[in-house]
Amino acid sequence: MSNAPKDTVRGIDWPDSVSLAIGTPLQPSVVYKTSDVEMLHAQYEGRAEGFTYSREGHPNATVLAKKVDLLEGATGGMMTGSGMSAITAVFFGLLKAGDHVLGGDQLYGRSLRMMKTELPRFDIDTGFFDPTDANSLREAIRPNTRMILVEVVSNPTLRVADMQAIYQIAREKGVLVVVDNTFTTPRGYRPFEHGADIVLHSVTKLLAGHSDAMLGYVAAQNPAHSQAIWDVIVTMGLTASPYDCWMAERGMHSFDLRFERACKNASIVATEIAKLPNVLRVLYPERSDHPDTARIPSIMGENFGNMVSFEIAGGHKAAQRLTENCDLAFAPTLGDVASTLSHPASSSHRGLTSDERAALGMSDGFFRLSVGIENPDTLASLLVKAISAAA
């Protein structure tokens, strides 16, 4: 019998090797076997380390979370299946019926929808404030305000929030500050060093960087908050996939280099397109005509980000001509290795009337550019060609 072949169903063990792979292995297994009953008890009671079921954690998520933790100066960060699921986990982990939560008035579109439509169905009240105006926050806070969700740089008008005032007011009132750091990235701004309670990311964007993995990340300063968020991730099934974590970790090997290059490219592009006669304005935090120049150095340092917005003359027709003549991907995302161009009036902000968009500073000739890592001369000439053709 001892010579009988092992069954091929789960019968072959992973080969031993005294030398170790330098690339992170991909581990897609959903379940993990344990040696015996006592060991399983030990795992569940935290006396032994080990995975059990991948909705409750897996090695690729642990490795990736540690990597983002290093960048953010965080401990115990957690991966989720998307940026939106990170936001969901924070809201549902830390809020209850009767609480009030405030958001910046130009949050990411789905975050706005979550606050306007979904949270009120669970009797969680929501309100909005202008993150560039401390008084607007003071007026919006109520006795039952529990949390503020803010993005450092607004989308797509690239206003820079008055972060110091927000932390100070929140501390006075005992309100948690949650920073969606997707746009700024931990290379541009590290919220925990300034007073944030919770940091989250759409890792889908710049951190992963190749538009082929959808993931979120969330970290909290207070371990009790981390635990509450983690329990919601596991219970609601907001878990990240091992494959996406593995892809994103590979993408992150080059994050520093990509970000540095993309910021340099963005600065060059902002300067070049501002020279064109049919460009009405260029929005980029490095520019001296940016409305928030006074506080930008204390928040962004020398990294002004990879996002550039601009407005061309000629409204809808000119916008159509620009996209017809542009060799960059016309796609409503950001943070890819390649530059992508988006048009809020036909995508993220299409639900608003043109008057409502105008009030937010977005005409039909308004574009948002996510700058990638291309050769800067090629990139600038592509844009100059497309914008000129729109005139």
Ligand X SMILES: *Cc1c(COP(=O)(O)O)cnc(C)c1O
**Which residues contribute to the site for ligand X (CB under 6 A)?**
82-84, 108, 111, 151, 180, 182-183, 202, 204-205, 214, 216
Nearer to ligand X, 179 or 380 (CB): 179
Shortest separation between residue 72's beta carbon and ligand X, angstroms? 15
Shortest separation between residue 237's beta carbon and ligand X, angstroms? 15
Q: How many CB atoms lie within 10 A of CB 26?
A: 14
Query: For this structure, is 284 an active site residue?
Result: no
Q: Decide: 280 and 318 in contact? Cβ < 8 Å.
A: no
Query: For this structure, is 385 an active site residue?
Result: no
Residue from 339, 191, 329 nearest 261 by CA: 339
Q: Which candidate in 69, 99, 125, 180 is catalytic?
A: 180
User: With 0-12 CB in 10 A as exposed, 13-18 as middle and 19+ as buried, what is 131?
Assistant: buried
Query: For this structure, is 217 an active site residue?
Result: no
Q: Which candidate in 67, 205, 258, 357 is catalytic?
A: 205
- Sheet containing 279-283: give its strands across: 279-283, 307-312, 366-370, 340-342, 329-330
Three-state DSSP at 198 gives: strand
Residue facing ligand X at closest CB distance: 83
Nearer to ligand X, 82 or 226 (CB): 82
Q: Which candidate in 55, 66, 110, 295 is catalytic?
A: 55
Can you say how many angstroms the Cα of residue 108 is from the centroid of all Cα atoms in its chain? 9
Nearer to ligand X, 51 or 284 (CB): 284
Query: For this structure, is 108 an active site residue?
Result: yes
Shortest separation between residue 337's beta carbon and ligand X, angstroms? 16
Shortest separation between residue 203's beta carbon and ligand X, angstroms? 7
Shortest separation between residue 183's beta carbon and ligand X, angstroms? 5
Q: b/e for 93-108, b at 16 or more Cβ within 10 A? A: bbbeeebbbbbbbbbb
What separation in angstroms does the CA of 240 have from each of 54, 55, 181, 236, 255?
9, 8, 19, 12, 20
Q: How many CB atoms lie within 10 A of CB 237?
A: 10
Shortest separation between residue 246's beta carbon and ligand X, angstroms? 17
CA angle 71, 74, 80 (to 5 degrees): 85
Looking at the DSSP bridge assignments, the partners of residue 342 are 368
- Residues belonging to the active site: 55, 108, 180, 205
